Amino acid sequence: MSARTEPARGMRDFLPEDVRRREYVIAIIKRVYERYGFEPLETPAVENIDTLMGKYGEEGNQLIFKILMRGEHEATGKADLALRYDLTVPLARVIAHHQAKLPRLFKRYQIQPVWRADRPARGRFREFYQCDVDALGSSSPVVEAELCAAVADALTALGFDDFVIRINHRQLLSSLLSVAGVAPDRHGDALVAIDKLDKTGADGVRRELSQRGIGEQSATAVLEFFQSRTPESELDRLGGFVGGDEAGQAAVENLRAIMTLSSSTSAAGRIRVDASLARGLSYYTGAIMEINVADLAGSLGGGGRYDNLVGMFLGQSIPACGFSLGLERILVVMTERGMFPPTLATTSADLLLATFDVADMPHALRLAALLRGAGVRVLVYPDAEKIGKQIKYADSRGIPFVGILGGDEIAAGTLTVKDLAAKTQHSYAQDAAGTAILEAVRRERM
Amino acid sequence: MSARTEPARGMRDFLPEDVRRREYVIAIIKRVYERYGFEPLETPAVENIDTLMGKYGEEGNQLIFKILMRGEHEATGKADLALRYDLTVPLARVIAHHQAKLPRLFKRYQIQPVWRADRPARGRFREFYQCDVDALGSSSPVVEAELCAAVADALTALGFDDFVIRINHRQLLSSLLSVAGVAPDRHGDALVAIDKLDKTGADGVRRELSQRGIGEQSATAVLEFFQSRTPESELDRLGGFVGGDEAGQAAVENLRAIMTLSSSTSAAGRIRVDASLARGLSYYTGAIMEINVADLAGSLGGGGRYDNLVGMFLGQSIPACGFSLGLERILVVMTERGMFPPTLATTSADLLLATFDVADMPHALRLAALLRGAGVRVLVYPDAEKIGKQIKYADSRGIPFVGILGGDEIAAGTLTVKDLAAKTQHSYAQDAAGTAILEAVRRERM
């Protein structure tokens, strides 16, 4: 009897070398976020279904994994729970639920998986990690500037030197659409279409605008505006286009403040206004950001201000803004570019401890405890097989040293240590072996 | 409008101080496991439903969270996916699926959440973390001994000094039941009943044995055996009871080998044979272990040998043995006993950087970048509020230092640093401030 062994569609197993790469990236991102005063938060993978439904737009609702009711209710086929779809909506729920315990200015990061029943594709999975960083309680543009700086620092620390942060403003988009003659109740639809400009081109956007009931003339005005962009003086052009629209002008000023502040941060020279940036999610209310590198279709991450989302849970608005980096996207690019340090392809252990007689195993376990106490990672080979087989195993696992504990060594209180790369061997007193092995490991790593 | 804000039933949000405690425990466990040559593995939260169903017994099937099919199939009310119920079955699947990439002796650890639709209770949640450590490819008793040693080292490193590891053997239980006259096809049922001896007492077990169709006489023989235990010479008593039953004698010898090896490890003095230990899961085939402390009903962890589970996926048996620690249980006891180091109740940042004029914000961001580059965790207060309000905020968040950057400081290229605990303040040149603050933080921590 044998059964299906693949992971579920769009999901992946991470073997040791995969986990090490993921943990390397996560550790760097965490360290940078903590330098900015962000604190860790974690939420459950499973949420009440009404917490998630209706927060991500119509497309989002369909991509949410829903969990069947249990026991006597299972047969109803109804769902009461759902898998986390992003880290922002759960954050808004947490802010509302734990308000009394949280400071009025709350800066948190959260690095956890989310699940979307999307069609799997290269770099797009059904389980993927988001690395989110959000600040709640302030509407100052310093918040946006610091978020962009933190993300820029994180990417720089990972070795990226060619990313671009694009920034736009939801209110500005709204004003642009109004000026172009799109009715307010069609703005959401229009944004979903415009968001695909890079993917589907002008014709695709025009088609989708038409399908979504936006008139020919408005579509032309919108597309003309977005296709004639000149990044250098974009803010002035935008100010000109929205003209007397007050909300539009306020948005332009907000973007100007963020850009000015950003010229004093690590995002300087990397951030630029792009009026065609729309972002798919429906909860944004202010600045929106996205981060790209040339060799990746799609973004490394994105975010924005969402001043009304907490209010949907709390009944009272709390200003909020955040940025999310996609771990998988970062890993894809880093792997293709060879950006991981060579020491990461590290071994499962520093030393394989080999014995040849079952009767010697208690000695081996005592010695292993001594070496581990000194800090050596020791794999005790559990079977008293031939030395050649044990050495071959160590070699195949990249374990650099093999400790040989035979009858002679036990009698003399020593350990013979083979250096597999240098093809040398040394004998050490057992109580000095730990330090010696650690030093040898350090030398090999350099 | 406001909505329900609680997390789903039996699930929890982890605020920053919770996450820090969890990460502290996980980091120690990982370090110990790596000292033993275990490598990290991660699997998806979601599995194909047939991967999980039927692996955990009848009770398990009912506790699995099932995920509704999507799109046009959603209305059928059928489930095709399910949430990970433990880390052992996914490991068996991984071993079968990635066999060509994995070494024949594979030692892995895995620290991830699992989900069970259990009735929530104190210390029992519907989402909880397991810290698993398993070795595949060897049937040597060294495997069991090293697993017990690794877990003992991990608990010792966390500060536990009073845990007991109980060990038993599935084959021995089976022989005991046969000798007591329980028919082989009732062994599984009998084990489920015996496993509850500590919880429900002898009468409860007798009732359940009877309900599960086990005769009065066999039930009496079983209970008499388990109630007359004398831990010191347990192995001899067991050997005597099973008499000529070959499989039973082999199990006694296996336990004896594990106990002898364990006397050379950190589990020495902590491990004892307990013939009443049954373990609920159905996939065990050999030694089974459980770890307890006096002040916790239920165990801190448990495990055992499961030589046939991989075969259910691969069609070919691979010897396997593992141990799982329950993170939540460990946290409950450590919290109640006050076992966390005081420095863990750490702050969100080392320094709050305060300004009083929006126009000074670019200066503040540049200085923050400088300080962060030196290693200081800096929270830039995003609004130019009154100094008293900003200091109060720092105080409430446990941030020990407040850096004041007003017009005078900007003109002089300095930073005034208030030490909130000592109620002192110093002025530093901006490019020397980072080192000075880090030193002061270190002093305060000591």
Q: Is the pLDDT of residue A415 over 70?
A: yes
Instruction: Give tens-digit pLDDT for B158-216.
Output: 999 999 999 999 999 999 899 889 988 888 888 888 888 878 888 898 999 898 889 89
Predicted pLDDT at B406: 95
User: In the Cβ-directed half-sphere of B338, how many Cα atoms lie within 13 Å?
Assistant: 1
Residue B229: band (very low, low, confident or very high) from pLDDT cuts 50, 70, 90: low
Mutation target vs B (from A52, A76, A379, A401; most B CBs, 10 A cutoff):
A379
Contact A16 B47 (CB under 8 A): no
Q: Report the largest interatomic distance among the alpha carbons of chain A, rounded to a whole angstrom.
A: 93
Q: Do domains A16-337 and A347-445 have the same CATH topology?
A: no
Residue B1: band (very low, low, confident or very high) from pLDDT cuts 50, 70, 90: very low
List, in sequence order, every beta strand (DSSP E) within A293-423.
Answer: 301-305, 320-326, 351-354, 378-380, 401-404, 414-419
Contact B65 A78 (CB under 8 A): no
Of the partner residues B14, B98, B369, the one whose CB lies closest to the CB of residue A42: B14
* Comparison of pLDDT for B231 and B99, the residue scoring more: B99
Angle at B172 between CA B166 and CA B174, to 5 degrees: 120
* Comparison of pLDDT for A182 and B59, the residue scoring more: A182
Structure tokens at A127: 């389980």
Instruction: Give tens-digit pLDDT for B412-429.
Output: 999 999 999 999 999 999
Instruction: Give tens-digit pLDDT for A349-400.
Output: 999 999 999 999 999 999 999 999 999 999 999 999 999 999 999 999 999 9
Instruction: Give tens-digit pLDDT for B117-166.
Output: 999 887 789 999 999 999 999 999 999 999 999 999 999 999 999 999 99
What secondary structure does DSSP assign to A81-136, as a single string?
EEE---SHHHHHHHHHHTGGGS-SSEEEEEEEEEE--PPPBTTB-SEEEEEEEEEE
Contact B83 A76 (CB under 8 A): no
Residues of A in contact with B150 (CB under 8 A): none
Q: Is the pLDDT of residue A189 over 90?
A: no
Q: Pick the closest to residue A276 from A236, A227, A329 (CA basis).
A: A227
Collapsing DSSP to helix, strand or coil, B315 comes out as: coil
Contact B312 A149 (CB under 8 A): no
Mutation target vs A (from B6, B19, B35, B316; most A CBs, 10 A cutoff):
B35
Q: Is the pLDDT of residue B233 over 90?
A: no
Predicted pLDDT at B261: 96
Of the partner residues A7, A8, A15, the one whose CB lies closest to the CB of residue B41: A15
Instruction: Give tens-digit pLDDT for A279-320.
Output: 877 789 999 999 999 988 889 999 999 999 999 999 999 999
Domain residue extents for chain B? 16-39+94-337, 46-83, 347-445
User: Does domain B347-445 bear CATH number 3.40.50.800?
Assistant: yes
Question: What proportion of chain B, given as a percentage, has pLDDT over 90?
Answer: 74
Predicted pLDDT at A278: 85
Contact B264 A135 (CB under 8 A): no
Residue B221: band (very low, low, confident or very high) from pLDDT cuts 50, 70, 90: confident
Query: Model pTM?
Result: 0.93
Predicted pLDDT at B345: 67
**CATH number for the domain formed by residue range(s) B16-39+94-337:** 3.30.930.10
Residues of B in contact with A263 (CB under 8 A): 362
Question: What proportion of chain A, given as a percentage, has pLDDT over 90?
Answer: 74
* Comparison of pLDDT for B88 and A344, the residue scoring more: B88
DSSP secondary structure code for residue B72 in this structure: G
Alpha carbon distance, N-terminus to C-terminus of chain B: 49
Runs of H (alpha helix) within A128-196: 141-158, 170-179, 187-194
Contacts of B18 (CB under 8 A, 6+ apart): A42
Residue B378: band (very low, low, confident or very high) from pLDDT cuts 50, 70, 90: very high
Average pLDDT, whole number, for chain B? 92
Contact A42 B13 (CB under 8 A): yes
| Position A137, amino acid | G
Average pLDDT, whole number, for chain A? 92
Residues of B in contact with A378 (CB under 8 A): 35-37
Contact A8 B102 (CB under 8 A): no
The answer to whether A193 and A226 have CB atoms below 8 angstroms apart is no
User: Does domain A16-337 bear CATH number 1.10.8.60?
Assistant: no
Alpha carbon distance, N-terminus to C-terminus of chain A: 49
Q: How far is B220 from chain A (nearest CA, A)?
A: 34
Q: Is the pLDDT of residue A230 over 70?
A: no
Residues of B in contact with A376 (CB under 8 A): 35
Q: How far is A1 from chain B (nearest CA, A)?
A: 5
Structure tokens at B164: 């007991």
* Comparison of pLDDT for B160 and B348, the residue scoring more: B160
Collapsing DSSP to helix, strand or coil, B47 comes out as: strand
Q: Pick the closest to residue A56 from A136, A114, A142, A141 (CA basis).
A: A114
Structure tokens at B98: 């990635």
Give the integer Cα–Cα distance in Å for B4 and B236. Answer: 60
Residue A1: band (very low, low, confident or very high) from pLDDT cuts 50, 70, 90: very low
